[in-house]
Structure 1
Amino acid sequence: MIIAGVMSGTSADGVDVAVCRITAGPDAASPRVKLLRYSSFAYPKAVRAAVLGAMNAEDISTAELARLNWRLGEIYADAVSKACAAANVRGKSLSLVGCHGQTVYHQGIAAKYLGAEVRATWQVGEASVIAERLRVPVVSDFRPADLAAGGQGAPLVPMLDYVMFRSEKVSRILQNLGGIGNLTALPAGCSADGAMAFDTGPGNMVIDGCMERLYGKHFDRGGAVGRRGGVLTDVVQEVLRRPYFSAPPPKSCGREEFGSSFVDGFISRCRKVSTSDADVVATATALTAESVLLGYRSFVWAHVGQAAPLAKVEYVVAGGGAKNAALMDMLREGFGALGVKVRVMEDLGVPAQAKEGVAFALLAWLTWHRLPGNVVAATGATRPVILGKVTF
């Protein structure tokens, strides 16, 4: 099957489309995945503003959310059409679309609401619009089934990590640095039950938020600003004392923890120590690096060492953060001191920013074949479940 995986992450910078060929492997846990083409499309400025507004707003009208849902459906359909044309996939060659949608709210931990314990997640981008425009079935809304089964609905990428990147000889940690950072730890020779996965904390989200406020730019291109500034170590250590970072996996986070309000407070903390804008961005960059290193030292090191103590360990970075040279230098220095080699996803044959699109193509394939897509060791669900809803 040729499947287009569509991802728009918490950075809300645009739409990634991975056009893939997926075929059955020797068993249900081993489908063969080949990336045919990766394309990326920036959101129009007004759309990005509306998406960020929906994520961060305490008060937004139902009408605005409904309109945004339908507008994103059109944008996703257009992105898939262009990506398929670029991949020379035309006519009826496209079999299926797997669309994650745009997360506007995610609460993986149950909390009291109207007299009951409730978990909630909401991704927008109308699947019916995509199915009608492209005339192919669409699998969407992947997270709720895992939440309903007692999981946190995230992370979902570990299934792809296990299928494509597990090794008999090498222990691999697959770190994605999108808006939020998340990792999958695969000890050498592990089964899916042996994987560990969780959100490490902010990826690019806080860096991007500081760049927006201080420089009027969406992100720190190449880490240039972060490299100019000095890291305010006390601020980093103060943030890392927040309960999220010491909480054991499985765990997930999002803009609810590290979005607009957090960025405002973070800048205020930095301003008490330095008046330099570059120092703020450098400190945000260090926060991401140190949260990743803390997650590894606190939870992953023992897990990998106990499962495969003699195996070589590789730390493989994907997502937009892999393009931030300042961040990557911090990670290489920190992991080098631990004897761990840092690589980028391209070394394993997948472009750094294509990985999540490929993941949702795979999850759509699994759903279409009525196979579970969650890794219970990653999400904390009570059982493996089939993810998503199919729209014809």
Structure 2
Amino acid sequence: MAYFIGLMSGTSLDGVDTAICSIDSPCEFSLIDAHTYPIPETLKQTLLTLSQESHADELLLYAELDVQMGHLFADCCVQILQKNQLNPVQISAIGSHGQTLRHFPDSQFPTTLQIGDANIIAHETSITTIADFRRRDMAAGGQGAPLVPPFHQALFSDPQKQMNRVVLNIGGIANITILPADSGTVLGYDTGPGNGLMDDWCCKHFDCDYDASGKLAAQGKVDKDFLDLMLGDTFFSQKSPKSTGREYFSYAWLEQQLATYTNEVSAIDVLSTLLELTCQSICNEILALANPVNGQIKTDIDEVFVCGGGVRNTLLMQRLQDLLPDMTVESTEKLGLHPDWVEASAFAWLAHQTMNSLTGNLPSVTGASKSVILGAIWQA
């Protein structure tokens, strides 16, 4: 039995998801245990600032955060090992996504930056560590993201080959994976904001980290004109492959949208409209697959399975179902994996791929010229 640890600290910065998984082949997977460890508040705020704004001492701050996140990731691994009474020699490898600070796949010199020094993780855990997953895909001409769709394909495709499925991840940014019933081409890409803009607005205006269950947003109303203004952003009309991050859909982006808007809109109505922005930008993409234009191949979507923190927003989940009345919208828990642990498990799975010299990207998703083995290996 081969054990792997997956680490995921997403753009929502709500903690470090840490998963121990048993993986014997790409399709033989089981979750042993998982836990979310908190990011210290001061560290979290510094990460948020650096991911969305320029900083006078940016290079030094980046270098120091790289070390701090390395220690934090290592500590998360040590804690979950102790919790499960496992020894480091029982773990084949750690797969660490790292904390994304920058992602510019469409610039003149495409680049992406994830921090969390893997040297520190390997040294402090005595476990071989694999990190820096995105840049090999970008070297092959890809977006470097999303990287989780191959795991979705292995774990969540309909075994009876009867249902076309979408796996929807809603973290700080939202992304979809399209799993065709006929073993056809798997697609996947970022759709735009997930929880990130709503969380930022809650922090600035409601003195809370997030809108629990959507209770605050339910008190407001959607400003349709402001919604249409935001949906007019060029990202939403781009064709896949495409990826984005909170360096683009940032609080500064939202302030710019508000400055452009000529009408007054209350704080509570802004929050309601941001929730609708997330839902409509996601559903517009899914509905476009089911109702294509310009002769594109139609994919009748039957089921949408949701993972990530957005699952806990009751209002958001209800709006998704309202906007997709001909599809079932449910948590990935129905498929056997709790929505909180899908991404961390995926990086354990990607570590297994790398350690076995198996490719980890899908060119149909990222736009890479070919499938490649992802990540760099830091030996224990």
1:86-106 residue CA offsets vs partner (Å, 9 max, x unmatched) = 334334222210000001100
Could you say which residue in structure 2 is the equivalent of 1:201? 192
2:275 is equivalent to residue 285 of structure 1: yes
- C-alpha distance in structure 1 between counterparts of 2:290 and 2:20, whole Å: 32
TM-score by length of 1: 0.91
Q: Is the CA contact 2:81–2:88 (under 8 Å) kept in the aligned structure 1?
A: no
Moved more, 226-235 or 50-59: 50-59
Could you say which residue in structure 2 is the equivalent of 1:364? 351
- SS of corresponding position for 2:236: helix
- C-alpha distance in structure 2 between counterparts of 1:257 and 1:300, whole Å: 28
Question: Which one-letter code corresponds to 1:331 in the other structure?
Answer: L
- SS of corresponding position for 1:70: helix
Q: CA deviation at 1:327?
A: 0.7
Task: Name the % identity.
Answer: 32
Could you say which residue in structure 1 is the equivalent of 2:329? 342
Could you say which residue in structure 1 is the equivalent of 2:313? 324
- C-alpha distance in structure 1 between counterparts of 2:56 and 2:38, whole Å: 24
Question: Which one-letter code corresponds to 1:17 in the other structure?
Answer: T
- C-alpha distance in structure 2 between counterparts of 1:110 and 1:53, whole Å: 22
Could you say which residue in structure 1 is the equivalent of 2:28? 32
Alignment of 1:254-265 (within 5 A): 254-265=245-256
Q: Is the CA contact 2:229–2:257 (under 8 Å) kept in the aligned structure 1?
A: no
- C-alpha distance in structure 2 between counterparts of 1:120 and 1:171, whole Å: 33
1:132-170 residue CA offsets vs partner (Å, 9 max, x unmatched) = 111010000100000000000001010111100111111
- SS of corresponding position for 1:110: coil
Q: Is the CA contact 2:214–2:314 (under 8 Å) kept in the aligned structure 1?
A: yes
Could you say which residue in structure 2 is the equivalent of 1:182? 175
2:373 is equivalent to residue 377 of structure 1: no
Q: CA deviation at 1:269?
A: 6.0
Q: CA deviation at 1:264?
A: 2.1
Q: CA deviation at 1:260?
A: 2.4
Q: 1:257 to 1:23 in 2, by over 3 A?
A: same
Q: 1:259 to 1:78 in 2, by over 3 A?
A: same
1:106-144 residue CA offsets vs partner (Å, 9 max, x unmatched) = 011132xxxxxx100110000011101110100001000
1:204-231 residue CA offsets vs partner (Å, 9 max, x unmatched) = 0111111011112111111110111111
Moved more, 167-176 or 82-91: 82-91
Of residues 217, 228, 242, the one that matches 2:219 is 228
- C-alpha distance in structure 1 between counterparts of 2:230 and 2:90, whole Å: 49
- C-alpha distance in structure 2 between counterparts of 1:271 and 1:13, whole Å: 34
Q: Is the CA contact 2:214–2:313 (under 8 Å) kept in the aligned structure 1?
A: yes
- SS of corresponding position for 1:47: helix
Q: CA deviation at 1:301?
A: 4.8
Could you say which residue in structure 2 is the equivalent of 1:152? 143
Could you say which residue in structure 1 is the equivalent of 2:121? 130
Q: 1:222 to 1:175 in 2, by over 3 A?
A: same
- C-alpha distance in structure 2 between counterparts of 1:58 and 1:315, whole Å: 38
TM-score by length of 2: 0.94
- C-alpha distance in structure 2 between counterparts of 1:154 and 1:164, whole Å: 19
How many positions carry a matched residue from both structures? 373
Q: CA deviation at 1:306?
A: 4.4
Q: CA deviation at 1:295?
A: 1.0
2:84 is equivalent to residue 87 of structure 1: yes
Q: Is the CA contact 1:201–1:291 (under 8 Å) kept in the aligned structure 2?
A: yes
How large is the Cα RMSD of the aligned pairs?
Answer: 1.8
Alignment of 1:97-176 (within 5 A): 97-111=94-108, 118-167=109-158, 168-176=161-169
Could you say which residue in structure 2 is the equivalent of 1:27? none
1:266-286 residue CA offsets vs partner (Å, 9 max, x unmatched) = 4556783323x2211111100
Gaps of 5+ in 2: none
Moved more, 5-14 or 291-300: 291-300
Question: Which one-letter code corresponds to 1:76 in the other structure?
Answer: F
Question: Which one-letter code corresponds to 1:44 in the other structure?
Answer: P
- C-alpha distance in structure 2 between counterparts of 1:308 and 1:264, whole Å: 37
Q: Is the CA contact 2:13–2:44 (under 8 Å) kept in the aligned structure 1?
A: yes
- C-alpha distance in structure 1 between counterparts of 2:318 and 2:261, whole Å: 22
Of residues 193, 205, 210, the one that matches 2:201 is 210
- C-alpha distance in structure 2 between counterparts of 1:63 and 1:281, whole Å: 35
Of residues 54, 57, 61, the one that matches 2:53 is 57
- C-alpha distance in structure 2 between counterparts of 1:373 and 1:195, whole Å: 14
Q: Is the CA contact 1:21–1:34 (under 8 Å) kept in the aligned structure 2?
A: yes
- C-alpha distance in structure 1 between counterparts of 2:226 and 2:346, whole Å: 35
- C-alpha distance in structure 2 between counterparts of 1:267 and 1:44, whole Å: 31
Could you say which residue in structure 1 is the equivalent of 2:3? 2
Could you say which residue in structure 2 is the equivalent of 1:72? 69
- C-alpha distance in structure 2 between counterparts of 1:289 and 1:271, whole Å: 24
- C-alpha distance in structure 2 between counterparts of 1:16 and 1:81, whole Å: 13
- SS of corresponding position for 2:248: helix
